[in-house]
Amino acid sequence: MQILFDTRDFPPRWHCGNWTDLHGWIHIVADVATGIAYFAIPAILIYFIRKREGLAFRGVAWLFALFILSCGSVHLVEATIFWWPIYRVSALFKALTAIISIVTAIALTRILPRALQLPGMAALTEKLQVEVAQRERTEEALRDRNYELDQFAGMASHDLKAPLHSIRNFARWIEEDSENSLSDESLDLLSRLQTKAGQMDELLGGLLDFTRAGAALDPVELDLTAEARATVELLTVPPDGTVEVGSLPVVTAQRGAIRLILRNVMANAIKHAGRPDVRIRVRGRMEGTDCLVEIEDNGQGIAEEYSEEIFDIFTTLQSGRDTEGSGMGLAAVRRATATLGGRVWVEPTEGGGATFVVQIPHASNVSLLGSKA
């Protein structure tokens, strides 16, 4: 190592030949500037290599960085030799630079055929445009198919309701007219027939709600407090139950979707409360340009592992309980919320129960006082 820095056999470059100050300093400044640039370039290149995922020919890029770095070292040593004649160090750096340069050249030769096969920017742009156009056509076809399916489901549900109502009415009339002549078993079967017909009617109603939830209508300015109060008037609240409507903001949204969300969430809370003194609180608040509507109940609550599953279509958690559900109500709520551009989720209520939170984007101002029902 000492021999590399032994300068006894060489004079400083200033003393080799007849250097003028101008001539010498041109060499020095040029070598220093080139060396600094050759250190900066690989630093930028290395940063790019580390940050860019999926970079083609990453190994060659590292060789380029090392090659440029070694060249910069040679230039800095050349500038130093004017005062410190470390020619042996200079020779070592030049040899290393030569080796790295040869390895880089060989690597470039080996990857050249593959590099030539890479598509150019114009080809990539054209391919991307074709893929985007194809995806748009696929999405358009999917929207059309979904619309057709929704229309079919809506019409089928509506058309099935009429004969279903007739079945329920016939069963009730037979039960009323023949109550004294039918056996207890027959009366029980008629009662079960009416119950099942009622459940089917509820399922069809939920299916209609689900199809309507995806309908895109023109948004209007809505006072959520008034909408919530109107919804409460349509619900069958137990005598010992209460529904408290607090202060809610004004939003710009689709009226049908808002009414469906409020009605289904509150009806779900009443239906599955599991207690006669059900208590529901509806309140809202602003978060930026969005409105959050919270519908809180004191019912049986929802386990965390089911917090997403409950919004799936035909999913109900009532197995083994007296109350049966169609599994459509909350699925329609999620679909209607998505139509508004928002989302819905459920949180546990302190002290027991569940709180459904509905995010409605682009709300404005606030409403006034709440009420109780």
Q: Tell me, what CATH number does 313's domain have?
A: 3.30.565.10
CA distance 77 to 74: 5
Lowest mean pLDDT among 54-68, 128-142, 202-216, 308-322: 202-216
Q: Is 157 helix (H, G, I), strand (E, B) or coil?
A: helix
Q: Which two tokens stand for residue 249?
A: 């903001």
Model confidence at 369: pLDDT above 50 = no
CB 364 within 8 A of CB 252: yes
Same domain, 108 and 246: no
Q: Which of 307, 282, 285 is nearest to 295 (CA)?
A: 282
Same domain, 261 and 338: yes
Average pLDDT over the chain reads 81
Same domain, 109 and 131: no
Q: Which two tokens stand for residue 173?
A: 């009339």
Confidence at residue 204, expressed as pLDDT on a 0 to 100 scale: 66
Report the b/e string of 12-37 with b at 16+ CB within 10 A: ebeeeeeeeeeeeeeebeebeebbee
Q: Express each pLDDT in 221-268 by its tens digit.
A: 889 999 999 989 888 888 889 999 998 988 888 888 888 899 889 988
Helices 184-213 + 255-271 axis angle, to 10: 150
115-119, 163-167, 176-180, 345-349, range with greatest mean pLDDT = 345-349
Burial class, 181, CB count within 10 angstroms (exposed 0-12 / middle 13-18 / buried 19+) = exposed
Same domain, 57 and 42: yes
Which residue has 């207690």 as its token pair?
Answer: 275
Counting residues of the chain whose pLDDT is more than 90, the rounded percentage is 15
Q: What are the strands of the beta sheet with 354-360, ordered from one edge?
A: 343-348, 354-360, 290-297, 279-287, 242-245, 371-372
CB 333 within 8 A of CB 360: no
Same domain, 288 and 368: yes
CB 88 within 8 A of CB 136: no
Domain of 138, in residue numbers: 124-211
- The predicted model gives 333-340 an average pLDDT of 86
Same domain, 199 and 234: no
CB 273 within 8 A of CB 297: yes
Cα–Cα distances (Å) from 181 to 170, 174, 185, 280, 324, in that order, read: 16, 10, 12, 45, 31
Confidence at residue 293, expressed as pLDDT on a 0 to 100 scale: 93
C-beta atoms surrounding 321 within 10 Å: 12
C-beta atoms surrounding 244 within 10 Å: 16
Domains contained in the chain, number? 3
Same domain, 242 and 268: yes
Same domain, 326 and 226: yes
Model confidence at 345: pLDDT above 60 = yes
Q: Which of 173, 170, 7 is nearest to 86 (CA)?
A: 7
Same domain, 268 and 331: yes
Same domain, 242 and 266: yes
Same domain, 185 and 44: no
CA distance 15 to 209: 96
Which CATH number is 203's domain given? 1.10.287
Q: Is 283 helix (H, G, I), strand (E, B) or coil?
A: strand
- The predicted model gives 147-171 an average pLDDT of 71
Same domain, 74 and 108: yes
Fill in the amino acid letter for 335. Answer: R
Final residue belonging to a domain, choices 195, 211, 227:
211
Helices 87-116 + 58-80 axis angle, to 10: 160
Model confidence at 180: pLDDT above 50 = yes
CB 355 within 8 A of CB 349: yes
Final residue belonging to a domain, choices 211, 242, 264:
211
Which residue has 């529904």 as its token pair?
Answer: 243
CA distance 331 to 269: 15
Q: Which two tokens stand for residue 327?
A: 């599994």
Final residue belonging to a domain, choices 182, 211, 240:
211
CB 282 within 8 A of CB 244: yes
Q: Which of 224, 61, 212, 97 is nearest to 147 (CA)?
A: 212
Confidence at residue 244, expressed as pLDDT on a 0 to 100 scale: 93
Q: Express each pLDDT in 197-209 by its tens digit.
A: 776 666 666 666 6
- Report pTM: 0.50
